[in-house]
Amino acid sequence: MTTLVRWNPIRDMMAFRNEFDRLFDTTLDFPALRWEEATTWGLPLDVAENDDAYIVKASVPGINPENLDITLSDNVLTIKGEFEEDKEIEEEQYQIRERRLGSFARSVTLPVAVVADKVEATYDDGVLTLTVPKAEEVKPRRIEIKAAKSGQKTIEGKVVKDK
């Protein structure tokens, strides 16, 4: 049995472009022909949330905490820093060089209002942990419902925030 497939010129162009990109990626894989690698890189983060705060964790091993710049403005948390070049090796010919150097920056927009004055930052074993408390007006509240008749039990309800 034969299957008919509708011709899609966009799909064919994308396949051609992918093959073209693959050709140049493999052809230009010589050390002398590599483009200069970027010295600014992103910082991977973990952002968790509980009822009271956001907990942000970033792995920045080997960096001095004084070289980190953390700002919070309009619910945008920004972490910046820089890894300095290792000056111990005088020769410039490395066999393998995988350790990062240069500056990094990462910004995260928090979805609800937070209290910038109460942010806590700790640095332990190369992990930066930020606790960003939520504003009181956005925290979930428990609302108690009182029965009209005195002989009935109290029914309690809980406010659930939308996600």
φ, ψ for residue 107, nearest 5 deg: -120, 140
Domains observed in the chain: 37-86+97-138 (2.60.40.790)
SS3 149: coil
pTM above threshold 0.85:
no
Q: For residue range 29-50, list pLDDT tens digits in order.
A: 554 444 444 445 678 899 999 9
Residue 45, φ and ψ in degrees, nearest 5: -125, 155
Q: Which residues pair with 56 in a beta bridge?
A: 47, 130
Q: 2-6, 16-20, 69-73 — which is least confidently predicted?
A: 2-6
Residue 78 has a pLDDT of: 93
pLDDT at 118: 92
Residue 60: Cβ within 10 Å count: 19
Taking the C-alpha atoms of residue 132 and residue 53, their distance in angstroms, rounded to an integer, is 5
Residue 80 DSSP SS3: strand
- Does the structure show a pLDDT above 90 at 94? no
Cα(34)–Cα(31) distance, rounded to whole angstroms? 5
